[in-house]
Each structure stands twice: as C-alpha cells, then as structure tokens.
Structure 1
Amino acid sequence: MSFVVEVDRRFPVRQGLAGGAKARLVPGAAIELRVTVGVAFEDDQLDHLGRYFDTDAAAEQVDRVCADLAGHVWTDLFDFRPTFELVARHLFERLAPEIPQLAFVRLRDETFGSRTCYRPRF
C-alpha cells in the first residue's frame, strides 16, 4: 500500500457504560468522540487527476452510519455491550461494503484521550 487517506468526524456520544476512567461520568453523560476511517490504495490506482476516491462522499457515509451513535445512548442502541472495541468493529463492518479498500476504523475518546482502532486481517 502506498497511500492511506483518512476521513474523520467528531461528535458527542453517550456510551452508557460505567467503570474505569469513565466512572467519573454520570451514566449516560456525553463524551466527545472522533471517528476516523482510513482507505488504503496503491500509486497505480490514482486517476489522471491524481485522486483515488472521493473524501466528501466517504465523509457523508461516515456521517450517515454514525448518526445513531450521537442520537442514542449506546447501551440502548446495541444488542451487545458497547465497548469501543466492539463498536469500532461494528462500524467497520457497516462501512466496508460502501467504502472500497477500507483499511481501518479508529475511535478516539476526546474526553479521556483513549484510542481504539479496528483493522481486520486480510
């Protein structure tokens, strides 16, 4: 792989889990989350204008898929325990069919400074 282009979005979410560093939060309180997706591609995939994919379209797809993350408490939204690890994998699985050559999905808890990255094995 020669290039990785990243697209990210930031918004407040309410994870709904207690414990760890987040124990200082009232259950359901908002934290700032940054979702970053990375697309990997080779030199020979660039078009005649020096581009491979449309970052604006990818940003719209990320916005659409992540809209529920900001609109609901995660413990109410998912049928699994919504750890950052499982949510990152869930987002990757939802976005991969829409964003060719998706390489990773990274979640960054901007409030507490932790990062979780899901990169599948190919």
Structure 2
Amino acid sequence: MLDPHFAGALIGTIALLVAFIHGLRFARLAMLHHTLRRAFTTGAVADPELLGRLFGGRTQAERDALDNRNGAMLIAVAAACVGFGWLQADPSALRLAAGVALFPLFVGVVLALRGRAGSRRGPRDVVRDG
C-alpha cells in the first residue's frame, strides 16, 4: 500500500516539523524570559494582568475562537484524508483513509461544537479561574 521509503520520509518530515515548532516556542519563551529579567533588574513594576497576558493567559472568548479554528482545521484534515483515499482509486485505500480520518473528524466536531457553545454563552455563565 505505502512504500516503506515514503512512509519513512513522511514520519521524518512530521518529526522535523514538530521539532521546528517546539524550537520556535522555546526561542519565544527564552526571549520573554530575557525581557522580564531585564525589566525586573531595572526596577519596573510587574503588573499581574500584564504578566498573565505575556505568559499566554487568554480570555474565554479567545479560547472559544481558538476551539472553533482548531475544530475547522481538524475537519479539513479529515476531508483531506478521505480525498487522498478517493484519489487512489482503490476501495481498500479509501476504506483505510476513511478510518484514519475518523479521529480528526470526531475531535474537530467536538471542538467546533464546544467553541460554538462557548461563544453563545453569556458573561454570567463563565466560571472565573482563581
């Protein structure tokens, strides 16, 4: 079905992509750490709300919008998997691709529904952390 060299190249590419993304996150965190250290040594007053935003604290509306976006992306990945299987013109390849597409499809639908339900929530319905 899949050539072993192709599968190895695909796995290697995915591993390199994940390593690159984590490297960028680490670089961003290192720059943030350097900036905060410099601000603290100069005696700048630390605003807790600003620090929360710097370290990635998001509002509920922002998290709901991210759930919508991530859900749509996972549904698109599932459609791409099925489309790949359909282009193979082999019923077993289509069945395999549809099976692979089920996981991102279900997770994407749940995330999209969670984001939609969250965006319809009123301000009193949000439970505050802390």
Q: TM-score, normalised by structure 1?
A: 0.28
Larger CA Rg, structure 1 vs 2: 2
Structure with more helix by fraction:
2
RCO higher in structure (CA 8 A, sep ≥6): 1
